[in-house]
A and B are shown apart, each in its own frame.
Chain A
Amino acid sequence: MKALVFERNLPRFAASRIASALAGSGHGVAVGPLELLEVDPPTLPGSGWVRLEPRLAGICGSDLATLDGRSSRYFEHLVSFPFVPGHEVVGDVRGGTLDGRRAVLEPVLGCEARGINPPCAACASGRKGGCERIAFGALAPGLQTGYCTDTGGGWSTGLVAHESQLHEVPADLSDEAAVMVEPAACAVHAACSTAPPSGASVVVLGAGTLGLCTTAALRHFCLPGTLVVAAKHPDQRRLAGELGADHVVEPDEVVRAARRLAGTLALGRQAGRIERLAGGVDVVYDCVGSPQSIEQSLAVVRPGGDIVLVGMPGTTKVDLAPLWQREVRLRGAYAYGAEERPDGARSTFDLAFELVRASRLERLVSAAYPIERFEEAVAHAAAAGRRGSVKIVFDLRRKSRGRTPNEEAE
């Protein structure tokens, strides 16, 4: 079978890091440790495991960070090499109770998938994203499918999945909609785990896949008073408005927009030039995860407010004095599991399916590439915003190796 394999190869890793640093994200893939290879299908690790033949597999921001060599060293102990990337997957199930059906992969490799019994406290409570055993058990370390050497990943024609990881896709839901369920689940978890109080002022930084899904999730599951989204590119701005933003602003306008929204005073070295707000908005969802976005979050959140890190950060130098002095809560939002809703606990993925349907998130799938053109696909994903795109996917459907209607339209 064909698979894009990411090897532990330090010279190529360094070359990728240098190339992406010099030429921009996505440019390191040609010299990096990712290769298209013919490999044996992964072995089924045990009972309860089935094969999954991907139809579509998305390229995520965390994948790009890995390919660029920008990922935090924190993950060193949470991955195993070589691995096949790809954790946003919709595919056909081969074996088990869902044999022959389409399913979306919930990629976290928690206690159940790892054969650990009794499960850790997080898994026992349904909060799989917080699993404490992701480097232990019957599988090699790997926080998710797509980072574990034993499971394979979505950027291939075959992987293995534990049945507990699979969510059947209703017949009327397109592959494009289904592949958006995993990123939507991340956004649902961000919105529900730190839900803004009713009527709260909210800022979402970033309008890539995560920012747009978070915007949609906040509008669908929460009752924010006013929702401001910072979006860099025209199509992102249009989509943010369509998905529920009250105001969409340029990234360099967000501090002023937040000040206006909060009706607060502001501070700066010169009157009229704002560096940070005296008050601020209630909640900031940082869907970028860069040092600049974290600084900006701290500049616009009110004392006692919340910052939710939705985008994956790395090693970051940030002045935390405002966090301390203003008693701001900084919280991560990773993955999924179960969310507390007014009608009780609900699976994040169930809520994500609901969101994808309600907000028609399949519109975010902008282009699909055959796996053989992975360098183009990654370059496109890295420049998605500039090119008027959002989600770039690999199209692994056997009968379709050409460009999809979405891609043709682009």
Chain B
Amino acid sequence: MSPRPGFVLEVDRSTPQTLFWRGEGFGLERLPVGSRVIYGPEPLPALKDPDAAIRHALDHPLGDSAPLRSLLHGGMKLTIAFDDISLPLPPMKSPDVRQRVIEAVLDLAAQAGVDDVILIAALALHRRMTDDELRHALGTRVFDAFAPHGLLLQHDAEDPSELVHLGQTEEGEDVELNKRAVESDLLVYVNINLVAMDGGHKSVATGLASYKSLKHHHNVRTMRASKSFMDRHHSQLHTSNWRMGKLIAQAGVKIFQIETTLNTDTFPPEMRFLQRREWEWTARDRASFYASSKALDRTPPELARRIFHSVKAPHDLTSVQAGEVGAVHDETLEHVFRQQLVPVEGQTDILTMGLPYICPYNVNSIMNPILVACLGLGYFFNLYRGRPLVREGGVVIMSHPTPWAFNPVHHPSYIDFFEQVLAETTDLLEIEAKYETAFATDPWYIHLYRTSYAYHGVHPFYMWYWCAHALEHVSKVIIVGGDRAAVRRLGFSPASTLADALEMASDVVGRDPSITHLHTPPLLIADVQ
């Protein structure tokens, strides 16, 4: 039986309560009659033989690329870059798709006699991965073959000796990239395209770039003009990356792009009720829900965090394509949309969303308030194609505990951003003009980014800019169940319950608003007509 497509439910009196994520926990909420709930398509079936599919893709590239084996030869310099810890979410069960793809590439390289091979985690300005995280992503065989010999690197956007400036695009955007990758005879980039935003020219132009390069598209103006990040042709973020991609190609950098798509099988069997439609819950699902939600209510947050972050997603590979960047990415998007796209009629006055415990930047870490804002307004708000789900001037209601808590190892500059910058202003342009450079060039943040496991000093700015489109579009943001001081520091309104939040929203949208709930995860993209 083929998986069912996405679905928009209209809530009536017989509709069971709706699941809302609340960080490291979840609960059921009764939405008003007439509300809509958007469910994503069911997980697509897995490729029957993923390793064979990968080998096939490498031998049958798209676009004007030759098969990978014909691009490999003895004496060449080969670099394999791969997506970092921010993908996929949650981290997937072993073997990770990066391991499968990289092993296949290395097999071909070995057959061709290539002995100068370097692996690079394409961190951009993200934190470095730990050895355990690298081992999980690459598999023990690859990790042990490369890491002990210094052949497994993590991109360092702050090492001038390892960066090279390729020039400027026609829009004056600097392109400064990882030197080893650029100077290789072939750069193979291994993607996990969890959402439509990932991949394409963004892989190299962002993942292997420096701040000097990234600031040209990670800024308020570009973010405001990206409508949405999931729709490449209406995203200035992507347009800028595509311009950079063109320049990279003109500079002679030879890229063999490999993109993979995963299905939305997000949670292991014991948590499967989290991705089922509530009215289809079995007795076992209901029992699992009540047992786990009650247990989580009594679990200290730190322990709950550890439990959730140990979850490995059963994601399966649904497609793999390789070759020329543009052609590969166009094909990838088809697969992503097939899995995630849900047609939705019209916008809504109020968009509700339950925010889970994880976003791309807090794997094995705390979802601090800035990341809460980014997940809700940067990611979930942008899960649309066409028009935003919520109308201009509408209200977004998110549920999350939003603790005033930070991981000082991963997010040191976030703490300062929250304590100093947001205490003074939440205005995006003012923040960008007044503080960005100081944070981006702060030697301590740079030191921690390079030597510890810290996100770059400028990263919290990018997370805040990520909200730019939403903040410009909606009139009010309400967080249900959040730490009141933290929520207010973000410039949002705290509410104790969903009912309170809806009451507060009525000041903006009137007494009889339309309400739509984004039932995610699993991920979906609303195709708003």
- A residues near B (Cβ < 8 Å) are 247, 249-250, 253, 256-257, 259-260, 263-266, 270-273
Q: Please pick, from B419, B442, B443, B448, the residue contacting A271 in the complex, using a CB distance under 8 A.
A: B448
Determine if B444 and A271 form an interchain contact, defined as CB atoms under 8 angstroms apart. Answer: no
B529 an interface residue at 8 Å Cβ cutoff? no
Q: How far is the CB of A224 from chain B (nearest CB, A)?
A: 17
Q: Please pick, from B408, B424, B438, B442, the residue contacting A272 in the complex, using a CB distance under 8 A.
A: B408
A-facing residues in B432-458 (Cβ within 8 Å): 438, 442-444, 447-448, 451-454
- Taken together as a complex, chains A and B put the C-alpha atoms of A146 and B423 apart, in Å, by 42
Leading 10 A-B pairs by shortest Cβ distance: A271-B452, A272-B408, A272-B412, A272-B409, A265-B444, A253-B419, A273-B408, A260-B416, A271-B409, A266-B444
* Cross-chain pairs A/B with CB under 8 angstroms, 5 sampled: A247-B424, A249-B419, A263-B438, A263-B444, A272-B407
Known contacts being A249-B420, A253-B419, is A260 close to B452, with CB within 8 Å? no
Determine if A256 and B452 form an interchain contact, defined as CB atoms under 8 angstroms apart. Answer: no
**B416 partner residues in chain A, CB cutoff 8 A:** 256-257, 260
- Taken together as a complex, chains A and B put the C-alpha atoms of A250 and B419 apart, in Å, by 9
Determine if A260 and B442 form an interchain contact, defined as CB atoms under 8 angstroms apart. Answer: yes
- Select from chain B the residue with minimum beta-carbon distance to A247: B420
**A250 partner residues in chain B, CB cutoff 8 A:** 419
Best-buried of A253, A265, A271 by chain B (most CB within 10 Å): A271
- B residues near A (Cβ < 8 Å) are 407-412, 415-416, 419-420, 423-424, 438, 442-444, 447-448, 451-454
- Known pairs A247-B420, A256-B419, A265-B447. 8 more at Cβ < 8 A? A250-B419, A257-B420, A265-B444, A271-B409, A271-B448, A272-B407, A272-B412, A273-B408
**B443 partner residues in chain A, CB cutoff 8 A:** 263-265
Determine if B415 and A271 form an interchain contact, defined as CB atoms under 8 angstroms apart. Answer: no
- Select from chain A the residue with minimum beta-carbon distance to B411: A272
- Taken together as a complex, chains A and B put the C-alpha atoms of A249 and B416 apart, in Å, by 11
- Taken together as a complex, chains A and B put the C-alpha atoms of A273 and B454 apart, in Å, by 11
Determine if B420 and A271 form an interchain contact, defined as CB atoms under 8 angstroms apart. Answer: no
**A270 partner residues in chain B, CB cutoff 8 A:** 408-409
**A272 partner residues in chain B, CB cutoff 8 A:** 407-412, 448, 452, 454
**B411 partner residues in chain A, CB cutoff 8 A:** 272
- Taken together as a complex, chains A and B put the C-alpha atoms of A250 and B447 apart, in Å, by 26
- Select from chain B the residue with minimum beta-carbon distance to A246: B424
**A256 partner residues in chain B, CB cutoff 8 A:** 415-416, 419
**B444 partner residues in chain A, CB cutoff 8 A:** 259, 263-266
- Select from chain A the residue with minimum beta-carbon distance to B442: A263
- Select from chain A the residue with minimum beta-carbon distance to B452: A271
**A249 partner residues in chain B, CB cutoff 8 A:** 419-420, 423
- Select from chain A the residue with minimum beta-carbon distance to B444: A265
Determine if A271 and B438 form an interchain contact, defined as CB atoms under 8 angstroms apart. Answer: no
- Select from chain B the residue with minimum beta-carbon distance to A278: B444
Determine if B419 and A257 form an interchain contact, defined as CB atoms under 8 angstroms apart. Answer: yes
- Taken together as a complex, chains A and B put the C-alpha atoms of A270 and B411 apart, in Å, by 13
Q: How far is the CB of A229 from chain B (nearest CB, A)?
A: 13
- Taken together as a complex, chains A and B put the C-alpha atoms of A263 and B440 apart, in Å, by 11
Best-buried of A265, A271, A272 by chain B (most CB within 10 Å): A272
- Select from chain A the residue with minimum beta-carbon distance to B407: A272
- Taken together as a complex, chains A and B put the C-alpha atoms of A266 and B409 apart, in Å, by 13
Q: How far is the CB of A347 from chain B (nearest CB, A)?
A: 38
- Taken together as a complex, chains A and B put the C-alpha atoms of A257 and B438 apart, in Å, by 13
- Taken together as a complex, chains A and B put the C-alpha atoms of A260 and B442 apart, in Å, by 8
- Select from chain B the residue with minimum beta-carbon distance to A253: B419
- Taken together as a complex, chains A and B put the C-alpha atoms of A79 and B407 apart, in Å, by 51
**B410 partner residues in chain A, CB cutoff 8 A:** 272
Q: How far is the CB of A120 from chain B (nearest CB, A)?
A: 47
- Taken together as a complex, chains A and B put the C-alpha atoms of A256 and B416 apart, in Å, by 7
**B451 partner residues in chain A, CB cutoff 8 A:** 271
- Select from chain A the residue with minimum beta-carbon distance to B454: A272
**B407 partner residues in chain A, CB cutoff 8 A:** 272
- Taken together as a complex, chains A and B put the C-alpha atoms of A148 and B125 apart, in Å, by 65
Q: How far is the CB of A254 from chain B (nearest CB, A)?
A: 10
- Select from chain A the residue with minimum beta-carbon distance to B446: A265
Q: How far is the CB of B298 from chain A (nearest CB, A)?
A: 29
**A259 partner residues in chain B, CB cutoff 8 A:** 444
Q: Please pick, from A247, A257, A271, A273, the residue contacting B453 in the complex, using a CB distance under 8 A.
A: A271
- Taken together as a complex, chains A and B put the C-alpha atoms of A250 and B412 apart, in Å, by 17
**A271 partner residues in chain B, CB cutoff 8 A:** 409, 412, 448, 451-454
- Select from chain A the residue with minimum beta-carbon distance to B406: A272
**B423 partner residues in chain A, CB cutoff 8 A:** 249
- Taken together as a complex, chains A and B put the C-alpha atoms of A273 and B416 apart, in Å, by 12
**A264 partner residues in chain B, CB cutoff 8 A:** 443-444
- Taken together as a complex, chains A and B put the C-alpha atoms of A260 and B445 apart, in Å, by 10
- Select from chain B the residue with minimum beta-carbon distance to A268: B408
- Taken together as a complex, chains A and B put the C-alpha atoms of A206 and B399 apart, in Å, by 37
Q: How far is the CB of A105 from chain B (nearest CB, A)?
A: 40
**B442 partner residues in chain A, CB cutoff 8 A:** 260, 263
Best-buried of A260, A263, A264 by chain B (most CB within 10 Å): A260
Best-buried of B419, B448, B454 by chain A (most CB within 10 Å): B419
**B447 partner residues in chain A, CB cutoff 8 A:** 265
**B438 partner residues in chain A, CB cutoff 8 A:** 260, 263
- Select from chain A the residue with minimum beta-carbon distance to B441: A263
- Taken together as a complex, chains A and B put the C-alpha atoms of A400 and B444 apart, in Å, by 58
**A266 partner residues in chain B, CB cutoff 8 A:** 444
